[in-house]
Amino acid sequence: MVNPATPASAKPAVEELVGPPALEVPAEAEPDATERLPAPVPAAVVVKDVEQTPWQRQSIRATGVEIVGDSCRQRSFPEPQRRWRHIQHTVLPGETAEEIAARYGTKKASLRRSNDGKLKLVPGKSIKVYASRTPAPRRRIEHVSADGEDWTAVATKYKVRYRELRAWNRGVGSTLGPGRTLVVYIDDDRPQTVNAVRGPAVPEIRVRDGAISTGRPQRGKITNAVRLPESTLYTLKVPQHAYGSSHAIRTHLEAIAQFRYASGYDGQLIIGGLSRRRGRTFKPHKSHQSGRDIDIFLPILPHVAFTYSPNPHEVDWEASFELARAFAATGRTEAIYLDRKVQRFLYEAGRNMGVSLEELDRLIEFPPRPGKDPSASAVRHSADHVRHFHIRIECADNEPDCYNERWDERHTEIMKRKRLADKEREAKKKRRSRRRNR
């Protein structure tokens, strides 16, 4: 693969296979052409607010929510009885133990055991891997840079990470000139879990009104809460901690259903904590008190065994990007919190999927640039959020006592109303006192 812009006299591409030989797997039947879609087209989500008529109280009494036509089927995690085999892996420049383990569906500790407790990664040397998955070998090519091309453009062209590309080409300066030869290792066997086929139809969602968020996420409560129901769209980790306001629950369901439909992702989606039934303190969380917060664990690559603590190389960042995109598209998401240490992976996934720089800037605060306001992006930094999204929904129009931070615009308006009410109360007391003294 040589850059199309390369002149005819430029050095031709050189291809070389790196890694273990691929297993011969019977080819699966290609899906019908109508099932393969070049890009998902957003579809309107049917969300209905319903009155609490007697038959509806009967059907949604347990949670306050009903999902009609829920046809999603989540792909299960890899079974423990997968076929394991010993193979040899040739270490690439800059490759880490976590990255190698994730590629072969194993763990770093297993790599260490397979190599007699000594795991020294030297580029070009081989290490033993006890693998549950034998991916196709990476292809080594040489790319000749064109005029005006930079490192990011080359990384985007071949869908590799920026840091990987720099590690494969140590000694090359930060500025590329025309005619510079770069080494690129292409992974043709990376699973595509999103945007290959359309997902299940969006179900009809009915949410009981009347669940109100009061106060701020760090000090608030829920009145008449509704609970996120069991569904094939996702898996609830702790159902008794899945309460929220009507507005927030409606937004969560709308975003997740749209994510499933638009991206076609069929992997497991694990929902962590929302709020307790009445809100208020929810340890160990500092927030999650007013029914507007939700934790969603980052999707994991299909060949990786499930864990609540995946390292960044085990996360399906393309699916994570589409999930964040779906929540941001609702227009009712206050913020999506993710540690800055892993925002780079999310950003590069979007970039490699062909998302424009303008949309990436609106969605993710990474990378920091002069004049860029982090609060203007949907995905923002919050320390220790490296394994899950912490998503916060905006206050609804019918929640007059809901706000985000002390002395923000909504809180200022609440305090103004409170002062007026206090003055009116004091005036009534004085009028009563005068009447009694007559």
In tens, the pLDDT along 185-244 reads: 999 888 899 998 889 899 999 999 999 999 999 999 999 999 999 999 999 999 999 999
Q: Tell me the per-residue pLDDT of 244-258, one tens digit each, with 9 for 90 and over.
A: 999 999 999 999 999
Same domain, 308 and 389: yes
Establish if 154 belongs to a structural domain.
Answer: no
Establish if 363 belongs to a structural domain.
Answer: yes
Q: Tell me the per-residue pLDDT of 213-225, one tens digit each, with 9 for 90 and over.
A: 999 999 999 999 9
pLDDT at 359: 94
Task: Supply the range of the domain harboring residue 382.
Answer: 53-76+194-393
pLDDT at 369: 82
Establish if 233 belongs to a structural domain.
Answer: yes
Same domain, 263 and 317: yes
Establish if 223 belongs to a structural domain.
Answer: yes
Q: Tell me the per-residue pLDDT of 341-378, one tens digit each, with 9 for 90 and over.
A: 999 999 999 999 999 999 999 999 999 888 888 889 99
Q: What is the tally of structural domains in the chain?
A: 2
Same domain, 276 and 198: yes
Same domain, 371 and 436: no
Same domain, 335 and 435: no
Q: In whole angstroms, what is the distance from residue 438 CA to residue 432 CA?
A: 10
Same domain, 308 and 437: no
